[in-house]
Amino acid sequence: MWSVGDELPPAMFELAKSFVDRTEGIEKFDDVQFYDEIVFAVRSKYSTDRFVTRRAPELLSVVHRIESRLDRGWFHKIGLTSPQARYASKPEATTGSIQDGVPDTVMQKPQGALWTSSFLPDGRSAWAEQEVASSHSARRLYRVVFAESDVRAYTLDSLSDFTQLLDLYPSVDDVGRVAVAWSKMASDFDAVHMTARGLLAIEGVEVQARNGVGRLVGWDAESTAWFRFPRTTRLDPAEGQATAEI
């Protein structure tokens, strides 16, 4: 929980600002509406000058109400759940070569991974807004069904989760900045899962890790990067067409 004197994460800062004059929405919005507000705040953080201070004690009461809201409903289920939603042009199951993050650049996602998002309570993918805004018009939505007990997933739900990840799998440049060595992480885990709470706490925040300063950017939505799917996984077209075994 943040307190007076703390600098708020960029996305949390934007979300709290948006609710200052309508705090009743924090409680009244259903989970889908509240998630849409989070996604909009994550997008908005890119328009905020990164050098503008986010020490805003006047926002703390709003932030604490947001934190309380994230402890309920869809947001409280922080683990990776089946089925997941995946937009793809075909039901592929093979990842590419997993590439490490590059410190202090937008290339910090695990390149070569396969991506899913959780389903929202209304049946939409948590990635739906980004898909609409993208140019992937030929992609269709699949349900990725798997046994949850078969997956070794690392969950990013707090800033300490990200700092620990940097300490465990560092990719360090020659000026003391660090990103995640996803290729090394893939030896120990099948997937890395970013929660909605994690988006608000981690996106764009600089942290001091053991090997240098790191900052995670570009995740944009509740999502999971897969290094491999379990062998028992299947992909079902969301429209109810024939199952695709993988």
List pLDDT tens digits, range 67-118.
Answer: 999 999 999 989 999 999 999 888 776 777 898 888 877 778 899 999 999 9
Q: What pLDDT is stored for residue 246 in this prediction?
A: 43
164, pLDDT greater than 70: yes
Q: Tell me the chain's radius of gyration from C-alpha atoms.
A: 18
Q: Averaged over 48-67, what is the pLDDT?
A: 77
When comparing pLDDT for 2 and 141, which is higher? Answer: 141
Q: Is 176 left (phi over 0), alpha (psi -120 to 50) or beta?
A: left
Question: pTM above 0.95?
Answer: no
Q: H or E element: which one contains 34?
A: helix 31-44
Total Cβ atoms within 10 A of residue 130: 18
Using omega within 30 degrees of 0 as the cis cutoff, is the peptide bond preceding 91 cis? Answer: no
pLDDT exceeds 80 at position 152 = yes
199 confidence band (pLDDT: 50, 70, 90): very high
Q: Which pLDDT value is given to residue 53?
A: 61
Question: Residue 197: its pLDDT value, please?
Answer: 96
Residues 6+ away with beta carbon under 8 Å from 35: 74, 75, 120, 126, 196, 222
Percentage above 70 pLDDT, the chain = 89
